[in-house]
């Protein structure tokens, strides 16, 4: 069974409530119908009830049995606004501001997750990554013991000789523009944990750079060296190594030449990029030129699962990310 089918089967085994704040949008409506009919998740659509019902009719979607939450009329809105005010008053948010902000479906849905009225949230067909992350960072915040929210892509490669039978995790390709060494170490550890929990494989994490084992000297290389050392000190039980060039990380013959002593070189199944420019460009190169499937970005480090979509996403992409979010909620 392929990875996505496995996620759907797991999601069905313990149904989770997943909220879609872009509830009036065509692809979200179509995905909601599939998720409901196939019993992959208990979907909640957030938005104007009238608009959701009208659009469902317009697009020929049956939403019978699917919960709609309209922030304008919901009984929860007042309590959520009060809670938002308490959470953000130190940051200058007034009661009146909170009462307005909570009417935004992105904030309303995030508050549903915070209050366990939903187990997870998926959006991004309309909104940008920042629009999803900001309420998440402000309201849901990081899980205990985690300092940094980050993200990874599940890359399903055509060439099964790479990674774990053609599966690899790439991080961070969507959240942290320029992580420092501590943040990079945290991203490496979180992604190793995601590989174990979600992918069920033993992570071999390569900390990528343009240098292998000190072959080049530059402050950018030093950051990756420092991050590697920190990650190794924090989690000696994990296989994390660097700094490695990409070829040394994934090609066995090159790994042997450039970093013979490395337990990871030549066999990496988790790639940690030094910053968001490299990560975002890197995953798109592999997706577009090597024809890999890129599933994500999947967020990690939040106290509750919330995930992003690409604005170019398909109905199927939404169904898949909801299934993964439901499995993350099961693992929490």
Window 173-192: residues binding ligand ACO (CB under 6 A): 174-177
Indicate which single residue of 280, 300, 320, 325 sits in contact with ligand ACO (rule: CB under 6 A). 280
Look at the alpha carbons of 86, 104, 304, 230 in this order and tell me if their dihedral is positive or negative: negative
Which range binds ligand ACO by CB under 6 A, 78-86, 134-142, 187-195, 313-321?
Answer: 134-142
Shortest reach from residue 175's CB to ligand ACO, in Å: 5
Based on the shown chain and the rule CB under 6 A, indicate whether residue 133 belongs to the binding site for ligand ACO. yes
Based on the shown chain and the rule CB under 6 A, indicate whether residue 125 belongs to the binding site for ligand ACO. no
Q: Is 236 helix (H, G, I), strand (E, B) or coil?
A: coil
Cβ distance to ligand ACO smaller for residue 91 or 217: 91
Look at the alpha carbons of 79, 84, 87, 90 in this order and tell me if their dihedral is positive or negative: negative
Based on the shown chain and the rule CB under 6 A, indicate whether residue 148 belongs to the binding site for ligand ACO. yes
Q: Retrieve residue 309's tokens.
A: 């979509």
Cβ distance to ligand ACO smaller for residue 149 or 221: 149
Indicate which single residue of 137, 181, 220, 303 sits in contact with ligand ACO (rule: CB under 6 A). 137
Instruction: Give CA–CA dist 191/173, Å, rounded.
Output: 12
Which range binds ligand ACO by CB under 6 A, 66-74, 103-111, 114-122, 171-179?
Answer: 171-179
Cβ distance to ligand ACO smaller for residue 10 or 93: 93
Indicate which single residue of 241, 297, 306, 323 sits in contact with ligand ACO (rule: CB under 6 A). 297
Cβ distance to ligand ACO smaller for residue 58 or 288: 288
Indicate which single residue of 1, 75, 91, 145 sits in contact with ligand ACO (rule: CB under 6 A). 91
Strand partners, 69: 46
x/- binding map, residues 50-89, to ligand ACO, per CB under 6 A? ----------------------------------------
For every residue of 123-152, DSSP letters joined together read E-SSS-HHHHHHHIIIII-BPTT----EEE
Instruction: Give CA–CA dist 94/81, Å, rounded.
Output: 10
Instruction: Give CA–CA dist 87/165, Å, rounded.
Output: 45
Q: Is 274 helix (H, G, I), strand (E, B) or coil?
A: coil
Cβ pair 286, 157 in contact under 8 A: yes
Q: Is 17 helix (H, G, I), strand (E, B) or coil?
A: strand
Indicate which single residue of 28, 74, 77, 129 sits in contact with ligand ACO (rule: CB under 6 A). 129
**Radius of gyration in angstroms for the set of CA atoms belonging to the chain, rounded to a whole number:** 21
Instruction: For residue 276, give the H/E element and its range.
Output: helix 276-288
Residues that bind ligand ACO (CB under 6 A): 91, 129-130, 133-134, 137-138, 142, 148-149, 174-177, 280, 297, 310
């Amino acid at each position: 069974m392929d990875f996505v089918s496995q996620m759907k089967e797991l999601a069905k085994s313990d149904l989770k409530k997943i909220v879609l704040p872009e509830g009036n949008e065509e692809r979200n409506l179509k995905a909601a119908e599939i998720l409901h009919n196939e019993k992959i998740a208990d979907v909640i659509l957030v938005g104007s009830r009238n608009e959701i019902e009208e659009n469902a009719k317009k697009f020929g979607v049956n939403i019978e049995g699917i919960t709609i939450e309209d922030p304008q009329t919901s009984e929860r809105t007042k309590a959520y606004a009060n809670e938002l005010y308490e959470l953000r008053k130190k940051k200058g948010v007034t009661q009146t501001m909170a009462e307005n902000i909570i009417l935004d479906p992105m904030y309303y849905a995030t508050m549903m997750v915070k209050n366990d009225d939903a187990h997870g949230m998926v959006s991004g067909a309309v909104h940008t990554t920042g629009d999803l992350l900001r309420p998440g960072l402000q309201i849901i915040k990081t899980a205990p013991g985690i300092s940094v929210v980050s993200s990874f892509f599940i890359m399903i490669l055509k060439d099964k000789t790479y990674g774990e039978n053609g599966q690899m995790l790439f991080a961070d390709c969507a959240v942290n523009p320029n992580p420092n060494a501590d943040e990079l170490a945290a991203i490496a550890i979180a992604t190793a944990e995601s590989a174990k929990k979600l992918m069920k494989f033993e992570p071999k994490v390569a900390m990528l750079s343009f240098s292998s084992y000190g072959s080049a000297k530059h402050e950018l290389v030093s950051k990756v060296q420092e991050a590697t050392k920190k990650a190794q000190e924090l989690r000696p039980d994990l296989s994390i190594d660097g700094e490695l060039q990409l070829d040394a990380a994934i090609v066995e013959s090159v790994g042997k030449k450039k970093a013979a002593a490395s337990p990871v070189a030549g066999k990496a199944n988790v790639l940690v990029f030094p910053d968001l420019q490299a990560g975002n460009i890197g995953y798109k190169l592999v997706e577009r030129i090597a024809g890999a499937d890129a599933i994500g970005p999947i967020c990690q480090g939040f106290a509750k699962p919330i995930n992003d979509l690409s604005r170019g996403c398909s109905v199927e992409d939404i169904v898949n990310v909801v299934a993964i979010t439901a499995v993350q909620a099961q693992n929490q």
